[in-house]
Amino acid sequence: MRSPQRALISLEGTKSEITGPVFGHNIINEFDNDLIVNYAKPGEMAIGQRILVHGRVLDERGHPVAGALVEFWQANAGGRYRHKKESYLAALDPNFGGFGRTITDDNGYYWFRTIKPGPYPWPNGVNDWRPAHIHFSIFGHGFAQRLITQMYFEGDPLIWICPIVKTIPDEEAIKRLIAPLDMNNTIPMDMRAYKFDIVLRGRRSTFFENRKEGN
């Protein structure tokens, strides 16, 4: 009921598509990329598996996308979202809001600290569970690059039976949404790391060519 039945009309990029909003660092507060504390009471922390999520935002030619706003949101360790329309019986964590944002540096690099989210049941089939996932929203340099996607975790058996994951017909494309465990960036006695690189479109991207940091 929510998908168009007619073909998209193709439109080669005009100024309206190759330009896009670019956000300054002044919108970012000190703890916006630390979900363990950004909603917690002073001196307290969210409960769950402490993880670092980090990676680069790149275009299809492998160039870093610098200054890209990356927003993320997720459920808590038990799979419960802090949203008024959410009624799953797993408890809210009083110290976990479940969202944050950051801006990529000159190398397209971003990172944030969080709690590994839990799987989450949803009313689709009679017994459907979302794999653990973190939602990402990314702004590139042009509005045509606008992307919302989801990150999954290496080794999660729920990935391969999830109808939302399976909306992607290509298994290789699914694998590109699965973040591997990254022991090199794990902080001993503190938190594990997952690496998640994001690639924004460069298809039909000749219009970006005069920008050294663009496509």
Partner 1 sequence: MVQSLQYLKESASQTAGPYVHIGCTPNFTGIEGVYETDLGAGPMATEQTRGERITIRGRVIDGTGTPLKDAMVEIWQADADGLYNSPSETRGKADPHFFGWGRCPADMTTGEFVFETIKPGRVPFRDGRLMAPHVTLWIVARGINIGLHTRMYFSDEEEANAEDPVLGRIEHRVRVATLIGKREGDTVTFDIHLQGENETIFFDI
Q: Which residue numbers are catalytic? A: 81, 120, 130, 133, 135
Binding residues among 100-119 for partner 1 as defined by CB under 8 A: 101
**Cα torsion 38, 187, 116, 140: sign:** positive
Burial 200-215 (b: 16+ CB within 10 A, else e): bbbeebebbeeeeebb
Residue 60 in the binding site for partner 1 (CB under 8 A): yes
Burial 45-63 (b: 16+ CB within 10 A, else e): ebbbebbbbbbbbbbeeeb
Which region among 45-53, 107-115, 184-192, 196-204 touches partner 1 (by CB under 8 A)?
196-204
Q: Shortest distance, CB of residue 49 to partner 1, whole angstroms?
A: 20
Q: Shortest distance, CB of residue 187 to partner 1, whole angstroms?
A: 24
Given the complex with partner 1, which of 50 and 135 has the nearer CB atom? Answer: 135
Binding mask 66-105 for partner 1 (x = CB under 8 A): -----xxx-------xxxxxx----------xxx-x----
Residue 176 in the binding site for partner 1 (CB under 8 A): yes
Q: Shortest distance, CB of residue 105 to partner 1, whole angstroms?
A: 16
Residue 53 in the binding site for partner 1 (CB under 8 A): no
Which region among 23-31, 43-51, 111-119, 180-188 touches partner 1 (by CB under 8 A)?
23-31
Which one-letter amino acid corresponds to residue 164? I
CA distance 158 to 1: 26
Given the complex with partner 1, which of 129 and 143 has the nearer CB atom? Answer: 143
Binding-site size, partner 1 (CB under 8 A): 76
Q: What is the DSSP string of 74-108?
A: ---TTS----TT---SSPPPTT---EEEEE--TTS
N-term to C-term CA, the chain: 35
Q: Shortest distance, CB of residue 135 to partner 1, whole angstroms?
A: 6
Residue 39 CB contacts under 8 Å (≥ 6 apart), including other chains = 46, 95, 96, 97, 98
Q: Shortest distance, CB of residue 188 to partner 1, whole angstroms?
A: 30
Residue 212 in the binding site for partner 1 (CB under 8 A): no
